[in-house]
Structure 1
């Protein structure tokens, strides 16, 4: 129980019951199973760009050839959950191989990448991002999205934050909980950096449930809703047709 008390004292708890469950799973090393799977997913995103014949690298080489042939398409990258990790890796590799004027519109749905990865991407190649929009749940909905009702009563992103990253309560980009520059969250330098970048436009973050017009609305109530919720899909359709400008 000392770990639970310590997390409350450091204000990185997820509520009493969820935190107790998290620390029990950690104490019996059951969290390692999920972390190993999660680490593999993240490594797959890295590996997509570490050899010229791997999918991500090959795609960007083909895109480079397309640009060199005087084609200049408007490209929107859409990623749900772990797809945000892939997009961060893609942007960093794209910055190495594409002409400097090639940029992307970015749409992230409930992104599961860490604030640290996203901030590192901004520092490395933010000029590759023409515009960005993030759709995610309000923290109230995130807490209510029980991944295993009666057992673990928080969302998948809460679970990732608590157990699948290197430290409990690791800041995850799709969690409204961390979108703050106040204590205790300002102790992570990647949060103020990301907060400042995303706060440049009120339309960069869309917290469901919300109805604020074309391309700005979502009724997603669960982590898996973002790719099937009609309101969110309508917003995506509008963005793909009209862009983020």
Structure 2
């Protein structure tokens, strides 16, 4: 349906002024006017094909005007062929001028699905505007995401979501035998909806070409920009008070950010967890997919991918599903921003399960500590975001995070799981990300995730060009 809609779009539409000459011109140009008006008892039974004027009103009505002559407009009604003359009747000009409410005329566009939803870019733009990427239209990623706000469906905004929208997607996917895998991909909390939309758009086609249906979770905390503003403001304050950049500068920034950063970080984690609470919209979305797959007898394999705070959200999902008899084939965490305690409470039990939920394989992709220390936040804090989280945002200074090499090497395992791979940024077939945020832009990481999902080489691997965004 979405593809058909892209081929049948409205080219232009105009509201008409209540001027008879405007109506005549519109009918000559477009052939049909869509009208609403006050109607009366004379509409019930036209006489000899003519709607007789009557003083007793009978509410409002919508219909089409399809022609005119010197007496009035010809109406095509929706009350069947027995009304008027084969469903048509004459609406006199005198009646029209007294009772008309509104009128619109439109033309269907020539099919151009290749540019559906896009806006023309001016040839010459100021340099600062030229740097801005156009926002991805919702139509390009429709059916591949759920947008969650405070645990509920985000039903307004550019990237809205509703239960009905997800229900239709789940039904169509379950009825399609092209897909052997369902991938639930959870983005980091500092990604704006626009950034998440671009990532969804860039990753979609490769996943689908490999028989994987990608379904992404945006959880709009509303805190991303606020968190970034706090970091920039405090970092600027530090630069003024301290001067050059040293490890002591980073310590000073951590101290300034501790109070406001901790409050925002904890709220961000709560929002991530609310998405996958038992009554959360992301949980509801997944349940709809599982229900339709079961109804259609489809043995589709379920996979999880989370980046940064996505590990917090997925931990909440595993906790919610703990008692379900369900198998998750793979779980991939990139630079997980969850604590070791969170991992031990929510991931470890399902790696070594009893009778409930089972996570069959789990892999973590982390940076070497050297790269964590070479990363930066806002160009001023001279370490990775995870260092800032560990040293400033978590209540315990130096909180052990699963995504940091210095702590993850001590993470407990169950049956050899999870496997943890460390990127040095230069070598290896598994991962070569050089920054905290760069894992899902790294062709080695993304193709390793593909191979694990498929259990072999992909039909279509990711390329560097596709992940350069």
Instruction: Tell me whether the two structures share a fold, i.e. TM-score over 0.5.
Output: yes
- 2:404 matched to which residue of 1? 175
Structure with higher helix content: 1
Q: Deviations over 1:126-155 (max 9, x none)?
A: 332110111110111111112244x42111
- How far apart, in 2, do the equivalents of 1:60 and 1:118 lie? 21
- 1:75 matched to which residue of 2? 302
Displacement of 1:235 in angstroms is 1.8
- How far apart, in 1, do the equivalents of 2:348 and 2:444 lie? 33
- 1:156 matched to which residue of 2? 385
Displacement of 1:86 in angstroms is 0.8
Q: 1:18, 1:154 within 8 Å by CA — same for their partners in 2?
A: no
- How far apart, in 2, do the equivalents of 1:159 and 1:87 lie? 22
Aligned residue for 2:271, secondary structure, equals helix
Where do 1:111-190 residues align within 5 Å?
A: 111-122=336-347, 124-126=349-351, 127=353, 128-149=358-379, 151-181=380-410
Does the alignment pair 1:57 with 2:283? yes
- 2:420 matched to which residue of 1? 205
- 2:137 matched to which residue of 1? none
Higher relative contact order (CA 8 A, sep 6+): 1
Aligned residue for 2:342, secondary structure, equals helix
Displacement of 1:51 in angstroms is 5.1
- TM-score, structure 2 as length reference: 0.40
Q: Deviations over 1:25-68 (max 9, x none)?
A: 42x5x32222222112110122123353x322202422442464
Which consecutive unaligned segments of at least 5 residues does structure 2 have? 1-245, 457-469
Give the one of 86, 95, 102 matched to 2:327.
Answer: 102
Structure with higher strand content: 2
Which protein is bigger by CA-based radius of gyration? Answer: 2
Relative to 1, partners in 2 of residues 1:180 and 1:133: Cα closer, same or farther, differing over 3 Å?
closer
Q: Count residues in correspondence.
A: 206
Which consecutive unaligned segments of at least 5 residues does structure 1 have? 1-16, 182-193
Displacement of 1:205 in angstroms is 0.9
Q: 1:144, 1:153 within 8 Å by CA — same for their partners in 2?
A: yes
Aligned residue for 1:76, secondary structure, equals strand
Aligned residue for 2:412, secondary structure, equals helix
Q: 2:318, 2:347 within 8 Å by CA — same for their partners in 1?
A: no
Aligned residue for 2:321, secondary structure, equals helix
Relative to 1, partners in 2 of residues 1:25 and 1:132: Cα closer, same or farther, differing over 3 Å?
closer
Task: Give RMSD over aligned pairs.
Answer: 2.7
Aligned residue for 2:305, secondary structure, equals strand
- How far apart, in 2, do the equivalents of 1:226 and 1:44 lie? 23
